[in-house]
Amino acid sequence: MHAPILIGHLKSDKVISNENMLDLIKQLRQSGKKDIYLVIIDNPNLIHAQLTKSPIFQQICNAFLAMIGTPCDQKLAKQGQEYLESALQNAQAETVEDFIALND
């Protein structure tokens, strides 16, 4: 079965560094995974375990669910649609400087 992957990450995460996230994305690509979406949220007020509190992350999650045809909040999905492209671009990054962080 071929399923896309959505990964959420905080730019200022103290648990998982941006470099570690880049390594993970590269390993997934090297293993043949193509449909990877990496959402990077820039909100210094959030910690690792609070990513789901980000309104932008909630929008993107719903847009992702809509994209793969699963139940979601359609209003949030519509709001998050524009962010999916940056998440797709992040998954193609070669360096952490290539990451696009969304301000929350």
Other C-beta atoms lying within 10 Å of the C-beta of residue 4: 14
Q: Please state the φ and ψ torsions of residue 7, each to the nearest 5 degrees.
A: -120, 130
pLDDT-derived band at 104, boundaries 50, 70, 90? confident
Tell me how far apart the alpha carbons of residues 87 and 4 are, in angstroms, rounded to a whole number: 12
Among 43, 50, 48, 45, CA closest to 102: 43
Q: Dump pLDDT digits (tens) for 11-49.
A: 999 899 999 999 999 999 999 998 999 999 999 999 888
For 10, the enclosing helix (H) or strand (E) is strand 5-10
Tell me how far apart the alpha carbons of residues 6 and 66 are, in angstroms, rounded to a whole number: 13
